[in-house]
Amino acid sequence: MTDAPPTDEGWFALHDFRTVDWDAWRDAPEHERNRAVGEGVEYLRTHEAVEDAEDGTSAVFSILGHKADLLVIHFRPTLDALSRAERQFERTALAAYTEQATSYVSVTEVSGYVSQDYFEEGEDADVDEGLRRYIEGKLEPDVPDDQYVAFYPMSKRRGEKYNWYDLSFEERAEMMSVHGDTGREYAGKIKQVIASSVGFDDFEWGVTLFSEDPTEIKNIVYDMRFDDVSSKYGEFGQFYIGRRFPPADLGAYLDG
C-alpha cells in the first residue's frame, strides 16, 4: 500500500446541465415566455453576483450538440449553498421549460505532487507569495471571461496492468510533473479548474477548461493524451463544449 498524496480542498462545484423543451417553448404564449426569461435572467444575474451566499462564482454557457442546451456552473464555499442554488433555479418560471440533462458535483483540489512546499510547511507557513496566490486561485476559482468552456469527468485507471493507485508516490509525482509541463505550454491560452469528485460523483475528477479559442481546447486534450498519465492511466466520461453568454442575453439565446 502506498500513501495518498496530501490534498487541500476549496470551493464546491456544481455543473448543472439543462436541456430546453423547444416544442413547449415555441408553443408557450408570449407573456409566459417573457416571464420565464425575466425570472431566468434574474436568477442568473443574482447568482453571478453571488447574492445567495458569502462567496463563490457562477456563470452560464450555451452547450452545443444534443447532450444539453445550457450549463450553469456554480462554485460555492459549502455544499448547502450549492444545493440552494440548484433548488432556486427550480423555482423560476424558466425551469418548467427545462430538464436537468445531467449534473456533476465536485470540490476544487490541489494535490501535493508539485506544490510540495505548501503541503510540507502547512497552510499558514511562510510559503512563497506567488505560490500561495496560485493555490488560492485553484481553490477559489474565477470563471474567466473567455468565451469557450469544455467540461468532462475523468478517473485514473485501476486496471490489472495499469493501476494508478498501486504506483509509488515518486512514480506518480514524475508523471504529474510531465503533465504539468504539458499544461504549462498552454499558459495564456487555457485556464483549467480541476475538482475532485471522489465520493461525490461517478468519476474521480471534473475537468473544466476555458479558452478564447476552441481549437486550443482540442489541442491541449490531444497533447495530454500522449503523456503516460493519460495514455496509460486516464479514463474519460462524456465531453461537453459550450460558449459563455451574459445573463441578459438569455432571451436572445432562447428566441434567436
- What are the residue numbers of the active site? 152
**Residue 192 within binding range of ligand 76R, rule CB under 6 A:** yes
Of 56, 146, 230, 244, the residue at the interface with ligand 76R (CB under 6 A) is: 230
- Pick one of 51, 124, 184, 256: the residue that binds ligand 76R (CB under 6 A): 184
Residue nearest to ligand 76R (CB): 183
Under the criterion CB under 6 A, does residue 241 sit at the interface with ligand 76R?
A: no
Site for ligand 76R in 83-142 (CB under 6 A): 111, 113-115
183 touching ligand 76R, by CB under 6 A: yes
Q: Enumerate residues 6+ apart whose C-beta is below 8 A from 54.
A: 77, 81
Beta bridge partners of residue 149, listed in sequence order: 210, 242
| Contact criterion met (CB below 8 Å) for 227 and 206 | no
The residue (of 70 and 209) whose beta carbon lies closer to ligand 76R is: 209
Residue 190 sits in the site that holds ligand 76R (CB under 6 A): yes
Cell numbers representing residue 40 in the block: 431566468
**CB of 225 closer than 8 Å to CB of 128:** no
Whole-angstrom Cα distance, residue 195 to residue 139? 9
Angle at 15 between CA 13 and CA 16, to 5 degrees: 130
Neighbouring-strand partners of residue 236: 154
Q: How far is the CB of 81 from ligand 76R (least distance, A)?
A: 24
144 lines the binding site for ligand 76R (CB under 6 A)? no
